[in-house]
Amino acid sequence: MKTPFKFKFPDILLVLLMLFSGICLGFSSGSFVINFSRIGFSIVSSVEKVFFSVTDAVKDTFGAVKELSELKKDYDELTKKLENYQQMQRSNAEIRKENAQLKEQLGFSESIGQKNFPAQIISRDIDKLYASLTIDKGSAEGINKNMPVIAYQNGNIGLVGKIIEVGKYTSKIMPVYSLDCTISARIQNTRDLGLVTGMGNDDEPLSMQYIKKRVLNDLHFGDVIVTSGENGNYMRDVPLGTISKIRVLDYDSSLDIELVPIIDFSRLETVIVIDQNQSNYYRKR
């Protein structure tokens, strides 16, 4: 039988001495130092790379926030400028529209045969019993009581009412829709005579009475009602309204007729007061 292989102490010592010698040789040649330096450099480089990456990301974030804030500021300024521009455009449009209306009214005023006074409505009394309009012209400009008042609106001439009260610089108009207003009028196409009265409010129709039932077949919706010119209160043939409803009442020999006013009083801004006793000739010279 063979005996098992055994390490003897001198052999183990020899191996240890050889390992130690090899390690010492490695240190003495600098190979281990160089490897440790490389390892340390790699670690430090990685840490620096991560640090600078994080720093750049933070800088980019703060830069983006600052840029976003500046963009929002620029946006707000542009929005404000746009709003100012749009408001200026609306103002210019309103001024052009007002100038066109005034020019149109001035041209119409100069074409009227009688002396007249263009005026602006400055207040309204909407009380149903005593409805009135106040204008910015009075006795100082030549306005007198009972002068008729007309308007030129959307290419149409219409009766507004008459002067019932005169101050030095303002006057009050009783409009055609007032309960106190009664006007002698005719149906334009048939020339039948009747009386037109108001209902007390500018958004309600006018009422025409005393038109005989016999003319019913001659009437049509949209027929124009004009002033008769009788009694000297108003000029002749000034439009008042158009027929919107006709009722036949069994107990009455006359028709009950409703009219839509020619003038849209809710949009009326300017009027023309007429002096029927003076010619407009001197103004055209």
pLDDT at residue 50, rounded to an integer = 57
pTM of the model: 0.64
pLDDT at residue 94, rounded to an integer = 62
pLDDT at residue 117, rounded to an integer = 93
pLDDT at residue 284, rounded to an integer = 45
Average pLDDT, the chain: 81
pLDDT at residue 225, rounded to an integer = 97
The stretches in the chain having pLDDT less than 70 are 1-11, 13-15, 17, 20-60, 62-63, 89-109, 111, 128-129, 280-285
- Environment class of 38 (CB within 10 Å of its CB; exposed 0-12, middle 13-18, buried 19+): exposed
Q: Rounded to whole angstroms, how far apart are CA atoms 191 and 172?
A: 31
pLDDT at residue 113, rounded to an integer = 77
The phi, psi pair for 238, rounded to 5°, reads -90, 125
pLDDT at residue 150, rounded to an integer = 95
Angle of helix 31-111 relative to helix 9-29, nearest 10 degrees?
50
The pLDDT tens digits for 88-112 are: 766 666 666 655 665 566 666 676 7
- Token look-up 């600098």 returns 30
pLDDT at residue 35, rounded to an integer = 52
Rounded to the nearest 10°, the torsion over CA 133, 135, 141, 146 is: -10
Q: Does domain 182-261 have CATH number 2.40.10.350?
A: yes
Count the alpha carbons within 13 Å of 7 in the hemisphere toward its beta carbon. 7
